[in-house]
Amino acid sequence: MAEQRQFLEVINRDEAEQRFRDALNLQAIGTELVPLEIALGRILAQDIRSSHNVPSFDRSNYDGFAVKAEDTYGVTEEEPVALALLEETIATAVVPSSEVLPGTAMSVATGGMIPRGANAIVMVEHTDLVKNQLLVRKSVNSGFGIAFAGSDIAAGEIILRRGDVLTSRETGVLAAIGETEIPVFMQPKVGIISTGDEIIPPGQTMQPSLVYDSNARILADAVTELGATPVNLGIVQDHAGQLEQLLEQAIESCDVVLLSGGTSKGEGDISYKVVEALNDPGIVAHGVALKPGKPICLAVTQEKPVVILPGFPTSAIFTFHEFVAPVIRLLAGKTPQDQTQLDARLAVRKRSEIGRTEYLLVGLVSGPDETLAAYPMGKGSGSVTTFSHADGFITIDRHQEILEENAPVQVTLLGGQLQVADLVVIGSHCVGLDLILSELQQSGCRNKSINVGSTGGVEAARRGEADIAGVHLLNPTGDVYNKHLLDDSLQLIKGYRRTQGILFRKGDDRFAGKSVQDILQLAASDHSIQMVNRNQGSGTRILIDNLLSEFDTLPNGYLFQSRSHHAVASSIQNGSADWGIAIQGVVSPELEFIAIADEEYDFIIPIDRLGKSGVQAFLRLLQDEDLRQQLTMLGFSPA
């Protein structure tokens, strides 16, 4: 009877993994451009910024009439208002040549461009036409029925991040911004060799003492799921010379080599003997304190992993996912990851429409008691980014008009699995924060960002739904930023200073060379000048209201609200507005910028979240010198 050779050294799991990784080159193996048509399932190799706005112009969501919202205030079915109907009719693909003035309206089709001067749409079913007059029987608010330019995607905005896996949602976004060649990580080739006299491929006639090779199939499909390419090199019987030759070919042509079977060091197992001859450094661990999976053998040569997995399928797949899968993910450009319906509670009150079943896309975040909070993600039916950023959807019954805050809901997941974020950031949007979160994503910290404004972010932090809230609110006395938002449960972390200012198109002599005060005075007195405002609750809106408080009249367009700095810049650039206030970081070559004031963009963190790994990674990154230099290049001044 042949002598059974024992393991040289059985080590713990962490030490085995450390030895293995220390000997490997864990950088992604390379990048390539692939046509969008075959990009499904691939992994983005760089952040994707939109080269233009989506939509590219202010467009109507309904068939109806473009109006000034203030002309409709107070009207009812019984007491309509009469507006003069302009002759021009705006169909799709038509650029308006007329302007909507007070007391007038213009016919616009769904998808049609909003004419200058209008700030809302009255749906056709809420009107009557009497001769040349339009009777409006329902009041509308500013912005109703309009998808603003850049409200879905703004030019220059990061819409997908490096490391994102391209599902049908992401490829739809890429198509919506006109991309045809997509930068993706190359897929590692993983050679799979099965060893043993007893192994036969599926399809052959079964005989006593033989077993079908199931490991090769399991491993090949697991490799594919990880974004790599399996290379099935077949079955090698217990013949050292044949295995040596095949292994040499596999190492030369593949990025990872897996051998299944032959790890126990019995005299009949040749895999260990062949791999033992490798060097640079060769075997780094053989025998790990696992159950199952103790016999695994980890080796490295030419900085490539060569792993002998146990022969039993359960042990093989367990050890594969424990040691090999994370390595393949890194080589493929992925970051470490890791239920079709989940119970959650609605984070905010939601009104629906009686008579229609509504599907509401939501993003899920964990609350302090491990329950899930569902944040509505809708930007409108024409949005393409909402679908890609949502975790799932809830179904609102056609008989239900209102879902109250904290109402229990059931979320149907998109893709069948919830991608749990390591870090949840809720609050005010900033391009500097975008940079930070992109860097975190590349380092393996999966994050989720929900933009609800500074006030909403602080409320989410107090409820325990946000790990971090981005804020930039001046206190009522006007001398200190953000500290007044704190209570005993929250801590302030200083971020960076950024500059808010007035944006206008280059060559506009009405603004060029003038002071901030002169521009505000001009805008308040000259109603031919169109403003684009920010949404209520945002720090920028509070700044705007403070600046305008001394004027008796508000600028034309004050009710025209945009939800981001990017959208403000887009509205001015495309001519639907003449001026607005936003941060310097969104200024394009076509725009001028006059600084108003520096402000502090900081981060509020619940004290009980300070020890969370994602928060710690965020705080470390804030101190990283390379990141601070990148922020400086964007026009920010790190604290």
CATH number at residue 46: 3.90.105.10
Confidence of residue 2 (pLDDT cuts 50, 70, 90): very low
Range with the largest mean pLDDT of 98-107, 393-402, 440-449, 547-556: 98-107
Confidence (pLDDT) at 386: 58
For 385, phi then psi, to 5°, come to -80, -30
295 vs 29, which has greater pLDDT?
29
Residues 128 and 225 grouped into a single domain: no
pTM: 0.63
Confidence (pLDDT) at 62: 96
Confidence of residue 5 (pLDDT cuts 50, 70, 90): very low
Read off the CATH number of the domain in which 494 is found. 3.40.190.290
Instruction: Say yes or no to pLDDT of 339 above 80.
Output: no
Mean pLDDT of the region 504-509: 94
Confidence (pLDDT) at 638: 93
Residues 195 and 120 grouped into a single domain: no
Structural domains of the chain, count:
5
405 vs 381, which has greater pLDDT?
405
Residues 105 and 140 grouped into a single domain: yes
Give pLDDT tens digits for 542-556.
889 989 998 989 999
3-state secondary structure of 540: helix
Report the amino acid identity of residue 228. A
Confidence (pLDDT) at 350: 85
Average pLDDT along the chain: 88
Residues 366 and 260 grouped into a single domain: no
Residues 456 and 539 grouped into a single domain: yes
Mean pLDDT of the region 13-24: 91
Structural domain includes residue 4: no
Mean pLDDT of the region 91-111: 95
Structural domain includes residue 70: yes
Confidence (pLDDT) at 566: 84
Residues 40 and 106 grouped into a single domain: no
Confidence of residue 337 (pLDDT cuts 50, 70, 90): low
Confidence of residue 382 (pLDDT cuts 50, 70, 90): very low
For 7, phi then psi, to 5°, come to -65, 140
Residues 297 and 434 grouped into a single domain: no
Residues 574 and 525 grouped into a single domain: yes
Structural domain includes residue 456: yes
Read off the CATH number of the domain in which 135 is found. 2.170.190.11
Q: How far apart are CA 386 and CA 363, in angstroms?
A: 9
Confidence (pLDDT) at 355: 66
Structural domain includes residue 359: yes
Q: Are 192 and 328 in contact (CB under 8 A)?
A: no
Structural domain includes residue 2: no
Residues 474 and 511 grouped into a single domain: yes
Q: How far apart are CA 168 and CA 204, in angstroms?
A: 38
Confidence (pLDDT) at 423: 93
Range of the domain at 573: 424-639
- Quickly count: other Cβ atoms within 10 Å of residue 427's Cβ: 29
Mean pLDDT of the region 160-181: 91
Instruction: Say yes or no to pLDDT of 436 above 70.
Output: yes
Residues 514 and 607 grouped into a single domain: yes
Structural domain includes residue 3: no
Lowest average pLDDT, out of 107-121, 135-149, 407-421, 457-471, goes to 407-421
Residues 273 and 225 grouped into a single domain: yes
Structural domain includes residue 419: no
Confidence of residue 385 (pLDDT cuts 50, 70, 90): low
- What is the share, in percent, of the chain residues with pLDDT greater than 70? 93
Residues 172 and 224 grouped into a single domain: no
Q: Which residues of 50-66 are buried (b: 16+ CB within 10 A; e: fewer)?
A: beebbbebbbbbbbbbb
Instruction: Say yes or no to pLDDT of 202 above 60.
Output: yes
Instruction: Say yes or no to pLDDT of 450 above 90.
Output: no
Confidence (pLDDT) at 381: 41
Q: Domain boundary residue among 392, 413, 434?
A: 413
Q: Are 504 and 520 in contact (CB under 8 A)?
A: no
- Residues 6+ positions from 509 with CB-CB distance below 8 Å: none
Structural domain includes residue 482: yes
